[in-house]
Amino acid sequence: MTSISEPDHLARLESESIHIIREVAAEFRNPVMLYSIGKDSAVMLHLAMKAFAPGKPPFSLLHVDTTWKFKEMIQFRDETVKRLGLDLIVHINQDGVDRGIGPISHGSKLHTDVMKTEGLKQAMNKHGFDAAFGGARRDEEKSRAKERIFSFRSKSHRWDPKSQRPELWNLYNTRIADGESVRVFPISNWTELDIWQYILRENIPIVPLYFSAKRPIIKRDGVLVMRDDERLPLEPGESVEDMQVRFRTLGCYPLTGAVESSAESVSDIIFELLQSRSSEREGRLIDNDQIGSMEKKKQEGYF
C-alpha cells in the first residue's frame, strides 16, 4: 500500500495508455492487438494486462509473420503468450510465400509491401477486426508526429493525412462504417527513452536480441547484418564474423542492422542510449530509401 502521491511522468504516460486501451475495448466490436514482438509491443502488451487486471485483455494478439523474423523473436513470442495465457493469431501472407517473395530476392520495399502491409490487410479482413492496436510512437519519425491516437482507415486500409479526424482532449471518435477500421496507438506519447525506463522499472521481459552477445555478422554496405539462417547468401568477398552486437529495433533479420555494443542489461542500454548520437530507426533499412518514404508507406496501409 502506498500513500497518495503525484503520479510521475512515467505513471502519467502509463495511465494515459491504459485509458486508451480501455476505450477501445469498450467501444469496438472486434478489436485486436498487433504484436510485433519488439520492445514497444512488449510495453503495450504489459499495459493491456494492467488495464484489465485482475482479468485478461478481452482481445487477441495478432502477429503478421513475414517468415523472415529472427528465430529468437518467434521463440520469445510463443513463450510470452503461453506465460500470459493469451490468444495469438499468426497470419502469413500465403500468396506471398507461394510467389517466393523475400527481402533478398525482391528487395526491402516489395517484401515489406507484400508480406507485412498486404499480410496485415488480409488478416484484418479475414477476421473482421474493426480496431487494431499498434505500438508506434510519434517520436519515431517526422511523419508520425502528426498521427492521431485513433487513426482512421478506409475500407481499403488507406491512411489519408488530410482526412484524419481532429482529436481533442481524451475524447476519441470511435464511430466507423462497416468495413472501415481504426489503428490505435496507445503509446503515441512515449519516447524511446520512456520505453526503456519503463521496461526497467516494471521489469518487462524483452527479446534477448536487444542485449549484447556474440552473433554471426556480415558487414554489408556499412550495415551489420546478422546471418540468422542459411537463407542469407554470402556475396563474393563477404564472410561471417562473430561480433559483440545488439539490436535497437527488431524486424526482418536481413533488413535490420545491428550495432556494436557491450550493453548487457536494460540499464546498460539506457546508458548507451543517452550517449548515442543516432536515432533508432537508422537501423531500419526502409526509412532511408527516400525522403518521405514512411509517409508513402503509411498511405499505402503500412502500419
Partner 1 sequence: MNSSTQNKIFDQDIDTFLASQDAKDQLRFITCGSVDDGKSTLLGRLLYDSKTVFEDQLSATETESRKYGTQGDNVDLALLVDGLQAEREQGITIDVAYRYFETDKRKFIAADTPGHEQYTRNMATGASTADVAVILIDARRGILTQTRRHSYIVSLLGIKHIILAVNKMDLVDYAQDRFDEIVAEYTEFATQLNFDIMHFIPLSALSGDNVFTSQSVISKSNMPWYSGPTLIDLLETIPVHHNEKDKSFRLPVQWVNRPNSEFRGFSGSIASGKISKGMTVVASLSGRKTKVKQIISPSGDVASATSGQAVTLVMEDEIDISRGDIIALEDSQPEVADQFAAHIIWMDPEAMLPERTYVIRFTTTSTTAQITDLVHKVDVNTLDQLAAKKLELNEVGYCKLALDKAVAFDAYNDNRQTGAFVLIDQYSNATVGAGMIDFALRRASNIGWHNMQIDKSVRAAVNNQKPCVVWFTGFSGSGKSSIADHLEQKLHEAGKRTYLLDGDNVRFGLNKDLGFTDQDRVENIRRVAEVAKLMVDAGLIVIASFISPFRSERRMARELFNDDEFVEVFVDTPLAICEQRDPKGLYKKARAGELKNFTGIDSDYEPPEHAEVILKSGEFEADTLADELVEYLVSKGRQAILE
For partner 1, which residue of 85, 166, 233, 236 counts as binding (CB under 8 A)? Answer: 166
Minimum CB separation of residue 39 from partner 1 in Å reads: 17
| 155 contributes a contact to partner 1 by CB under 8 A | no
| 101 contributes a contact to partner 1 by CB under 8 A | no
Which one of the spans 93-101, 196-204, 216-224, 233-241 is the region binding partner 1 (CB under 8 A)?
Answer: 196-204
**Residue 18 corresponds to which cell in the numbers above?**
491504459
Identity of the residue, 176 or 225, whose beta carbon is nearer to partner 1 in the bound complex: 176
CA distance 51 to 46: 9
| Residues 33-72: x where in contact with partner 1 by CB under 8 A, - otherwise, as a string | -----------------xxxxxxx----------------
Minimum CB separation of residue 211 from partner 1 in Å reads: 15
Minimum CB separation of residue 143 from partner 1 in Å reads: 5
CA distance 155 to 34: 19
Which one of the spans 62-70, 214-222, 232-240, 277-285 is the region binding partner 1 (CB under 8 A)?
Answer: 277-285
- Of 187, 245, 190, whose CA–CA distance to 213 is shortest? 245
Site for partner 1 in 4-23 (CB under 8 A): 4-16, 18-19, 22-23
Which one of the spans 73-81, 121-129, 134-142, 234-242 is the region binding partner 1 (CB under 8 A)?
Answer: 134-142
For partner 1, which residue of 83, 98, 168, 237 counts as binding (CB under 8 A)? Answer: 168
Question: What are the beta bridge partners of residue 220?
Answer: 223
Phi, psi torsion values for 101, nearest 5 degrees: -70, 130
CA distance 105 to 215: 24
Sign for the CA dihedral angle at 58, 26, 181, 117 comes to negative
- Of 78, 74, 62, whose CA–CA distance to 120 is shortest? 62
| 295 contributes a contact to partner 1 by CB under 8 A | yes
Angle between helices 192-202 and 39-51 (to 10 degrees): 60
| 177 contributes a contact to partner 1 by CB under 8 A | yes
The owner of cell 520492445 is: 39
By CB atoms closer than 10 A (0-12, 13-18, 19+), residue 291 is: exposed
| Residues 242-271: x where in contact with partner 1 by CB under 8 A, - otherwise, as a string | -------------------------x--xx
Other beta carbons within 10 angstroms of residue 193's beta carbon come to 12
- Of 133, 109, 225, whose CA–CA distance to 186 is shortest? 133
Minimum CB separation of residue 1 from partner 1 in Å reads: 5
For partner 1, which residue of 78, 99, 161, 205 counts as binding (CB under 8 A)? Answer: 161
Minimum CB separation of residue 23 from partner 1 in Å reads: 6
Which one of the spans 123-131, 183-191, 220-228, 245-253 is the region binding partner 1 (CB under 8 A)?
Answer: 183-191
Binding site for partner 1 (CB under 8 A): 1-16, 18-19, 22-23, 25-26, 50-56, 138-139, 142-143, 145-146, 161, 164-171, 173, 175-177, 188-189, 191, 193-194, 197, 200-201, 267, 270-271, 273-279, 282, 291-292, 295
